[in-house]
Amino acid sequence: MRGVFVTGTDTGVGKTLVSAWLAHNWQAEYWKPIQTGAGEDSDADTIARLAPQVPIHPCAVTLQAPLSPHEAAKRERTRIDLSALTPPATQAPLVVEGAGGVMVPINEVALMIDLMARLRLPVVVVARSGLGTINHTLMTLEMLRRRQVPLLGVVMNGQKNPGNRQAIEHFGGVPVLAEIQPLLAVNQSVVAGLPPPAFSCPP
Ligand SMILES: Nc1ncnc2c1ncn2[C@@H]1O[C@H](COP(=O)(O)OP(=O)(O)OP(=O)(O)O)[C@@H](O)[C@H]1O
Ligand SMILES: [Mg+2]
């Protein structure tokens, strides 16, 4: 399987925006294995809005509560089984979007990072650009390294911060693949108008 796993240092850091941007430019397909907070706008709905030509695969698990997957599942008296999170078969590259960050529980024993380790797709870490990001990003990279999850690099989202970028590259030992500036609106034409990624989808 070809593609990337898009994770982040936190929830709300821009994983869906980055997924839309990558999938649009790579003619890739999109899959969000676990969607929580399904009552609200789902990430697949957002992708359909931001990159309408991107084929979207149904989530393996959809849960109503806007909580961590393990807790949202508990509320529905169910349990997420890691082995049930099987990626869809596809010829095109697949952009997989995680829920939250790497240490988000999926059930009482497994974390999102366990799913990443199983899928073995190179990981893109989406990080905020501003104060606090060095700590969150380096911890995320450290965990991924420990589990020997392949790392593609970091995408920084927000006002450019050359010092933070340099620190992440220096201490994290990974490239910052792209920087996405604050956008006045996040919609289809804005996503299509972003400069294409200067890196290609891993083979
Ligand atoms: N560069 C940006 N400029 C303006 N708004 C942005 C930017 N990046 C993200 N946003 C907005 O911030 C919000 C969170 O972004 P996004 O949904 O991509 O985060 P996420 O990491 O996918 O969140 P979740 O953990 O819920 O999946 C969205 O409303 C999005 O439109
Ligand atoms: Mg998202």
> Residue 98: CB within 6 Å of ligand 1?
no
Q: Which helix (H) or strand (E) holds 27?
A: none
- What is the three-class DSSP state of 47? helix
Task: For residue range 53-86, list pLDDT tens digits in order.
Answer: 999 999 999 999 999 999 999 999 999 999 999 9
Residue 154 belongs to a domain: yes
Question: Is 71 domain-assigned?
Answer: yes
Q: Note whether residue 203 is domain-resident.
A: no
Q: Is there a catalytic annotation at residue 32?
A: yes
**pLDDT tens-digit profile of 111-160?**
999 999 999 999 999 999 999 999 999 999 999 999 999 999 999 999 99
The whole-chain average pLDDT of the chain stands at: 97
Q: Would residue 200 count as lying in a domain? A: no
pLDDT-derived band at 181 (thresholds 50, 70, 90) equals very high
The answer, yes or no, to whether any atom of ligand 1 lies below 6 A from the CB of 112, is no
Q: How many domains does the chain have?
A: 1
Q: Are 7 and 116 in contact (CB under 8 A)?
A: yes
CA distance 93 to 100: 22
Residue 81: give its domain's CATH number. Answer: 3.40.50.300
3 CB within 6 A, ligand 1: no
Please tell me the distance from the alpha carbon of residue 172 to that of residue 159, in angstroms, as a whole number. 20
Q: Is residue 145 part of a domain?
A: yes
pLDDT band at 39 (very low <50, low <70, confident <90, very high): confident
Rounded to 5 degrees, φ, ψ at 158 are 125, -175
Q: Which residues contact 41 (CB under 8 A, 6 or more apart)?
A: none
Whether ligand 1 lies within 6 angstroms of the CB of 190 is answered as no
Percent of the chain with pLDDT over 90: 97
Please tell me the pTM assigned to this model: 0.98
Strand segments (E) across the chain? 3-8, 29-31, 34-35, 56-57, 61-62, 94-101, 123-128, 151-157, 176-180
Q: How many CB atoms lie within 10 A of CB 42?
A: 18
Ligand 1 atom with minimal separation from the 17 CA:
18
Residue 37 CA: which ligand 1 atom is closest? 26
pLDDT band with cut points at 50, 70 and 90 for residue 2: very high
**pLDDT band for position 40 (cuts 50, 70, 90):** confident
Catalytic residue among 15, 32, 74, 160: 32
Show the domain range for 70. 3-193
